[in-house]
């Protein structure tokens, strides 16, 4: 206990002793008075009145505070009621949102299941297409060899020779094929096929071998099988006459070419100028491919 606490304690019991002494002295002196009881009764009455007034004032003040407190409690109660209604609405909305989310989840699961089934079916379809495509490529790749084999057998049966007899180059050589039909054939061919036809004419004029691989590399046309098939079609139509190199794959000697092939460049250039002039990138690509084909046979 510190000094301040000790001082408080001493002040309390000193005051208590002084009050008791004053009461004892007052009692000793006033009891000798003849009207002491009247004075005491009057003092008690006055004290009661004062205390009554104090009680009345206190009750007024307490009632006012109580009214204010009750009003505050009512306002708080109203706010609590409004908040409870809002919370109830939010709970209802939350329940509806949860149900909606569950329904959406179910729909998504069903859609995912359907997508998985469709993807599996698509994968099987693509695999089947790939297998058929591979089989078709294999068949097309074996077709030239089978044609050569059949041609060799026919030639062995008739002349006893196993290779084609080279015909001396003849720039103006023509066949009995309809020229109008050949023109329509070239006009309806793709740009890459027109380039190959032009390459055949250049190879014939320069007496250089035509390599499908070099042609595809130079023109950036990654379709060697397609180019090979188109060359076989021209050979079948007697637009060109070719001899395959026995030592290298997809290398041919052009021993005869129809003069109609000389117009293939004109078909090619007129088409890209007419259709691709407003597409600079494509126009530049095909024009560059034409220049690369001409460089192959310089």
In a domain, 113, yes or no: no
101 Cβ contact partners less than 8 Å away, ≥ 6 residues apart:
none
CB 166 within 8 A of CB 242: no
In this predicted structure, what is the pLDDT of residue 138? 57
Residue 274 lies in a domain: yes
Q: pTM score, two decimals?
A: 0.43
Report the CATH number that the domain containing residue 268 is assigned in CATH: 1.10.10
Nearest-Å Rg of the Cα atoms of the chain is 59
- Determine the pLDDT at residue 276: 86
Tell me whether residue 212 is in a domain: yes
- Residue 264 domain-assigned (yes or no): yes
Residue 88 falls within a domain, yes or no? no
* Domain boundaries, position 258: 169-296
Torsion of CA 227, 231, 237, 239, to 10 degrees: 120
120 located within any domain: no
- Which residues, including other chains, have CB under 8 Å from residue 212's CB and lie 6 or more apart? 224, 227, 228, 231, 250, 251, 252
pLDDT 10s digit of each residue in the chain, 298 long? 578 888 888 888 899 899 888 888 877 776 666 666 777 677 788 888 888 888 888 888 878 777 777 777 878 888 888 888 889 888 888 888 888 888 888 888 888 777 877 777 777 777 777 776 666 655 555 555 555 555 555 444 444 333 333 334 444 344 445 778 777 877 778 888 989 999 999 999 999 999 999 999 999 988 899 899 899 888 888 889 999 888 888 899 999 998 888 888 888 888 888 888 888 898 999 999 999 999 998 7
Predicted local confidence at residue 199, as pLDDT? 92
240 in a domain, yes or no?
yes
φ, ψ of residue 26 to 5 degrees: the values are: -65, -40
Token representation of residue 202: 């250049």
Could you give the count of Cα atoms lying within 13 Å of 265 in the half-sphere of its Cβ?
Answer: 13
pLDDT of residue 142: 54
Give how many domains the chain has, as a whole number.
1
CB contact at 8 A, 289 and 199: no
Q: What is the Cα–Cα distance from 148 to 204, expressed in whole angstroms?
A: 21
Q: Is 60 part of any domain?
A: no
Residue 251's pLDDT is what? 92
């Amino acid at each position: 206990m510190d000094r301040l606490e000790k001082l408080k304690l001493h002040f309390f019991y000193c005051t208590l002793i002084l009050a008791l002494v004053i009461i004892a002295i007052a009692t000793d002196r006033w009891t000798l008075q003849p009207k002491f009881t009247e004075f005491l009764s009057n003092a008690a009455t006055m004290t009661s009145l004062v205390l009554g007034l104090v009680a009345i004032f206190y009750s007024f003040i307490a009632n006012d505070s109580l009214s204010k407190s009750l009003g505050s409690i009512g306002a708080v109660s109203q706010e609590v009621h409004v908040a409870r209604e809002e919370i109830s609405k939010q709970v209802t909305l939350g329940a509806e949102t949860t149900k909606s989310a569950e329904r959406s989840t179910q729909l998504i699961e069903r859609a995912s299941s359907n997508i998985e089934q469709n993807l599996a079916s698509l994968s099987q379809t693509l695999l089947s297409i790939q297998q058929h495509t591979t089989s078709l490529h294999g068949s097309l790749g074996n077709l030239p060899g089978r044609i050569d084999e059949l041609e060799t057998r026919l030639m062995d049966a008739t002349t006893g020779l196993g290779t084609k007899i080279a015909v001396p180059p003849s720039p103006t050589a023509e066949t009995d094929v309809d020229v109008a039909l050949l023109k329509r054939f070239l006009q309806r061919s793709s740009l890459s096929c027109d380039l190959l036809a032009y390459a055949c004419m250049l190879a014939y004029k320069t007496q250089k071998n035509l390599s499908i691989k070099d042609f595809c590399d130079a023109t950036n046309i990654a379709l060697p099988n397609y180019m090979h098939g188109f060359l076989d079609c021209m050979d079948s139509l007697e637009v060109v006459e070719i001899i395959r190199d026995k030592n290298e794959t997809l290398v041919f000697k052009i021993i005869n070419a129809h003069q109609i092939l000389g117009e293939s460049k004109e078909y090619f250039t007129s088409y890209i100028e007419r259709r691709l002039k407003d597409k600079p990138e494509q126009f530049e690509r095909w024009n560059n491919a034409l220049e690369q084909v001409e460089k192959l046979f310089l």
